[in-house]
């Protein structure tokens, strides 16, 4: 019997009420769960991955799609520090207890990435790029001993066979061909960082021009939601 699909859902907006990216990720994840046969949608907090997924499976929902959720905006991760870097640069068997403690959260985040088949990121554009909360997350999970293999002389990503969706919102239009396109550092950065980790199947859904008045905002959000609901039918 095949295992149920697992989706890792991450929101990075600093805003809770009124967040466009949160509303869009929630709509997509709900549609995705329905598409994969969820009758009782199960969401696990990333803080207790093994316990929560294990409880769901033992409760008889073994064929239910599972969602691991992390709210990076409301529960920001710590920035990497000197001890973390020392642990990163030290072989696992040679790490001190302090190093192991410093990198334990990173290991947990990477366990979630490897457990999941699908990733959904809610990413508002802040100052032309990604939120600080998402950058802190990526700093924790881009690691040579886990998500990267450097044994062949150049980086080889270890997260192959995964599907990633980035739902990104912004006030203005930075699409290719526009005057502002060269100032969009969000998509190029995420494309590069995901490729390094081996995530080649990457889709962006953009809700832009949200700062151009209520009518335009409503129209653009409706268009993005429709695109996401269609995507959920085969993703």
CB-based contacts of 189: which residues, under 8 Å, 6+ apart?
129, 130
Strand order in the sheet with 42-45: 42-45, 66-71, 6-11, 118-124, 163-169, 201-207
What are the CA-CA distances from residue 142 to residues 109, 119, 121 (Å)?
A: 10, 15, 16
User: What is the model's pLDDT at position 120?
Assistant: 99
CB-based contacts of 17: which residues, under 8 Å, 6+ apart?
none
Domain boundaries, the chain: 6-232
- CB contact at 8 A, 9 and 123: no
pLDDT digits (tens, 9 = 90+) for 43-64: 777 655 554 454 444 444 567 8
6-232 domain in CATH 3.40.50.360? yes
Per-residue pLDDT of the chain (235 residues; tens, 9 = 90+): 478 999 999 999 999 999 999 999 999 999 999 999 887 666 777 655 554 454 444 444 567 899 999 999 999 999 999 999 999 999 999 999 999 999 999 999 999 999 999 999 999 999 999 999 999 999 999 998 899 998 888 889 999 999 999 999 999 999 999 999 999 999 999 999 999 999 999 999 999 999 999 999 999 999 999 999 999 999 9
Work out the angle at residue 182's Cα, subtended by the Cα atoms of residues 180 and 183, and round it to the nearest 5 degrees.
70
């Amino acid at each position: 019997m095949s295992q149920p699909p697992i989706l890792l859902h991450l929101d990075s907006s600093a805003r809770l009420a009124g967040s466009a990216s949160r509303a869009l990720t929630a709509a997509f994840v709900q549609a995705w769960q329905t598409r994969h046969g969820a009758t009782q949608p199960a969401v696990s907090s990333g803080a207790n991955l093994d316990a929560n997924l294990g409880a769901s499976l033992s409760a008889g929902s073994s064929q239910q799609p599972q969602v691991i959720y992390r709210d990076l905006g409301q529960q920001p991760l710590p920035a990497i520090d000197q001890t973390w870097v020392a642990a990163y640069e030290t072989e696992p068997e040679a790490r001190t207890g302090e190093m192991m403690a410093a990198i334990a959260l990173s290991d947990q985040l990477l366990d979630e990435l490897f457990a999941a088949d699908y990733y959904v990121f809610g990413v508002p554009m802040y100052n032309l790029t990604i939120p600080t909360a998402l950058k802190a997350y990526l700093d924790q999970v881009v690691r040579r001993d886990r998500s990267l293999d450097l044994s062949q002389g150049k980086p080889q990503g270890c997260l192959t066979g995964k599907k990633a969706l980035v739902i990104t919102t912004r006030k203005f239009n930075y699409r290719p061909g526009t005057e502002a396109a060269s100032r969009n550092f969000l998509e190029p950065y995420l494309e590069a960082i995901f490729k390094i980790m081996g995530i080649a199947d990457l889709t962006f859904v953009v809700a832009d021009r949200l700062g151009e008045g209520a009518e335009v905002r409503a129209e653009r959000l409706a268009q993005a939601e429709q695109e996401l609901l269609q995507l959920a039918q085969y993703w």
